[in-house]
Amino acid sequence: MAEEEEEAELSEKQKVEIAKWFLLNSPPGEIQYVAKDVKSILNDDGVYDEASSEAFPLYNKSHMICLQMPDRSGDVLVTSFNELDVNAFLDPRSAQVAIVDHVKQDCIEVRPAKDEELPSPYIEEFRCALDAEVMRYVDEAYPKGVCSVLCVNGKDVDGPGSDFELVVVISAARLSPQNFCNGSWRSVWNVGFKDDQQRVEVKGKIQVGAHYFEEGNVQLDAKHECEDSTLFQSPEDCALSISSIIRHHETEYLASLEASYLNLPDTTFKDLRRKLPVTRTLFPWHNTMQFSLTRDISKELGIEK
């Protein structure tokens, strides 16, 4: 009976969940490679289609992938913050909505954004000013970085006196599978404008992922959170202050990562490798009786040979 249970075939639901796990845990930029292998192993198009249709949207949003619009009018970031529908994502910079194919990771159509999908003119002043400053910073700091500033709360506020919230998303990927390495930088900055306190609260979440797979499999998944604040000022002054905060914290975190890498040979790698005794020779497990401590213990236990 036990043998029959061990050999029982996995249900379709179980197969879907296992396939989704592998897809969702794909390293940056590698989900298409993983999907190809998963599809081959499953050998069941129905199960694969169900798993991929659920996993790809989640993966694309969590990795904040960037897709080029078909008319080359710009790029759109796929995130949970600008998601209007399962396949529709707002690009406030161009006031357009991109329709994407998640599984193919492709932007297939673009339409003009509706008025109700865009923030009010008052909010747009702050959003646009901040977008310009963050773009300037990203162009300097990330060779292949993209960014977007979105209104996530209070987009209908039409003048001073009410709170609202913007979010800055920054995504940079460096994919080089031919050199067996891929990596990504993702940061999300929630910017809360508190009108009654005349303060702007900034909360950041940074995630760095890397995968090196030449003759091995080494992955990095580092996360960092931070908070800061500044004064509620004009749109231009707020934008300068917020972008400076973002620059400061991201530069500081990157420096800490670089410092930890420099210490890897003397710390982490030494802990990972097998240590030799002071004699610089391996312990002779096959002949432990040559050691006096072993003989003494064996004699006390009455098992001396």
Q: Is residue 193 part of a domain?
A: yes
Question: Is residue 302 in some structural domain?
Answer: no
Distance CA 226, CA 205 (A): 7
Sheet of strand 96-101, all strands in order from the earlier edge strand to the far edge: 88-91, 96-101, 106-112
Which CATH number fits the domain that encloses residue 94? 3.30.1140.60
- Statement to judge: residues 256 and 123 lie in one domain: yes
Cβ–Cβ < 8 Å for 100, 89: yes
Number of domains in the chain: 3
DSSP 55-75: HHHHHHHHTT-EEE-TTSS-E
| Residue ranges in the chain modelled with pLDDT below 50 | 1, 297
Phi, psi for residue 94 in degrees, rounded to 5: -105, 0
- pLDDT computed for residue 1 by the predictor: 46
265 domain-assigned: no
Estimate the crossing angle of helix 12-24 against helix 45-62, to 10 degrees: 30
Domain enclosing residue 101, as ranges? 66-115
Residues 129 and 151 both lie in one domain: yes
Read off the pTM: 0.83
Domain assignment of residue 284, yes or no: no
Q: Are residues 77 and 127 in the same domain?
A: no
32 and 87 both lie in a single domain: no
Q: Specify if 282 maps to a domain.
A: no
**Does residue 237 lie within any of the structural domains?**
yes
Q: Are residues 157 and 242 in the same domain?
A: yes
Q: In terms of domains, do 48 and 80 share one?
A: no
Same domain, 111 and 207: no
Same domain assignment for residues 155 and 80: no
CATH at residue 203:
3.90.1150.210
Note the pLDDT tens digit of each residue in 168-201.
999 999 998 898 899 999 999 999 999 999 999 9
Buried b / exposed e over 106-141, threshold 16 CB at 10 Å, is ebeebeebeeebbbbebbbbbbebbbebbbebbeeb
Q: Give the DSSP H/E element, type plus range, for residue 276.
A: none
Whether residues 250 and 174 fall in one domain: yes
Please write the tens of the pLDDT for every residue from 231-250.
999 999 999 999 999 999 99
Q: What is the pLDDT of residues 72-86, one digit of tens each?
A: 778 999 999 999 999
Q: Is residue 123 part of a domain?
A: yes
Position 274 scores a pLDDT of: 56
| Domain-located, residue 276 | no
